[in-house]
Structure formats: structure tokens, C-alpha cells
Amino acid sequence: MSERAYSEELNEEISAFKAHKYSLKGKLKSAKAFHCHDPYCGIKLTCSNWAVKDAKRIYFTPSNRDDLHSIACSTVSGDEEKRQVEVETEQGKRTISKNGIIAMRKATNKSKTNHSNEHGVEDVDVVTGERRNNVTKDKKGTESRNVSSIKTYINFYYDDDVDNNVCNIRVDGELISLNTLFVDAKEEIPVGVNRILFGNAIVTTPVFNDKLVAFEFVDVDKPIVYTNKEMLLTRINSKVLNQYLDKGVECQFFFRGSIGQDGKFVSFNGKNYCDLYIME
């Protein structure tokens, strides 16, 4: 669920409450004439309880259940992202059961589109490339599905119905298995190779910035991972984070990315909050 969206009728970003009010007045005609205003996303959205006078819950939701917000979207709520992971996991397992391929794609490419309005033309950045959860087939009929969330891959990794030894995960053009994708943080990985590292970590608030959260692998010579706390809470339940934050208690931590030339972590999507997870 999202509280704000881009109105294609008004050519501006508005709240769900305002859109609903305009539906009652007839100023807006269609509940489906909206899309996500985040530049990394742009999926079609529908306003709930359209033209219902005494509606209690008003929000924007994906117009199609299979259309998921981009993994880099900053507008999605924690509850909505949890639902999206459930959809990704369910449908991803179907692709795996058909001997299909799971493609791990980045969500960082943008292009500009034009929205005309009363003041002229507005350039808006939108994500390019294939959508999250998009499915294609090759000439042999092999299904390939884009799966974005690190949590979905964790679900696959710990699912007894999924064979972790089969090479059915495409990362940076290479087909690998889940057992190759997941690497114990105590092990070394080559520079620039994207993997999901896991191990015990301590979670703290850095003294230099209380808006950040720091994750430090325990007894491992690996860099500290920093992320914005507010954005992290759209991906991780606040109760889970607070169970470990500044408590000195170790959590089971996952980070998706690579080691850069400078020896520091580089997250897969370029946004750390998209590429880390605390096991609940």
C-alpha cells in the first residue's frame, strides 16, 4: 500500500486521501489512472474505495497482483513489501518447479519521460528494463523470472522443496546454484563478484549519525555495512530491528553485494537497505 501516487489525469503527485476526495467530487474519473511516483518504480496503481462516501481505508495498491513495486522503491510500506515477497516466493517456486531460471536483476537504471501539465512539460525519471517479477521464455520455452528481494532468495535457500545444488540462478549473466550464491561471511569472495554473504552480526547506531544503522559481522575481517534507518524499516520489521539494535545481541545477518577495489562492500542495487536482511 502507498499513501501517494502520480495522477495521470492531473499530471501531479497527490495523496490517496486527496484522490479519493476528488473522486467524490467528480474531479477525477478513474481509480486506475495512477502510477507510483518513485523514479525507480512507476508501476500502475489503483486507489482503494473509489467514490465510496464513507470509506475508512484509503490507499494506493498495485493494479495487478503480479505487478510489484521496484525493489528500490522508496514509497512502499513494510506491510506491502512483505506481501510482495510472498508473491515473489510463491511464483518463483513455480518457475523453479518448471526447471526455469530465476534472474537476479538490478533496479538502478533510469530514463526520462515527459508529463505535460499546465506549466509546460515536466521531465520525470523512470526505471527502465524488465519489471520485478516479470516472466519471459526463450526459444526452447524455458521460463525466466525476475526476482528482486533478498528475502525471497533467503526463502528459496531455506526451503526444503528447492534444490540448492541446481544451477538455476542467473547473476550478472552467470548461472549459479543457491549454494554458490550464499557465502559464509568467514569465506573470501573475489573482488567485484556479487554474492549473498551471511553470518552473525552486531547492530548499532553509529555515534557520528543517529539516522544510520551499522551492521558488523562478528569475528570476521569484513567491512561494516551502513544503511539509512528510515528506509531500512520499509524492509525489516521494527520489532526485529529493535530486538538487536544497540543491545549487543548477535543477529543472523545477510548482505547482498560484492567487495569493491577499495575493500569496502558495494551493495547489489547501490542502496544498502535493498540488499540486507536480519533473520526473524
Domain count along the chain: 3
- pLDDT at res. 130: 57
* Torsion sign across C-alpha atoms 206, 235, 14, 106: positive
Cα separation values, 103 from 89, 144, 171, 258, Å: 13, 7, 7, 17
Enter the pTM of the model. 0.84
pLDDT digits (tens, 9 = 90+) for 145-190: 999 999 999 999 999 999 999 999 999 999 999 999 999 999 999 9
Which residues, given as ranges, of the chain have pLDDT below 70?
108-130
- pLDDT at res. 134: 83
* Selection from 102, 107, 265, 108 nearest residue 197 by Cα: 265
**Same domain membership, residue 198 and residue 164:** no
Is 34 part of any domain? Answer: yes
- pLDDT at res. 267: 95
> What is the pairing mode between strands 251-259 and 265-267?
antiparallel
Is 191 part of any domain? Answer: yes
Supply the DSSP symbol for 272: G
**Same domain membership, residue 105 and residue 34:** no
| Dist CA 79 CA 234 (whole Å) | 8
- pLDDT at res. 163: 98
**Same domain membership, residue 263 and residue 237:** yes
- pLDDT at res. 123: 41
* Selection from 40, 12, 33 nearest residue 125 by Cα: 40
Range of the domain at 209: 185-278
State the burial class of residue 105 (Cβ atoms within 10 Å of its Cβ: 0-12, 13-18, 19+). Answer: buried
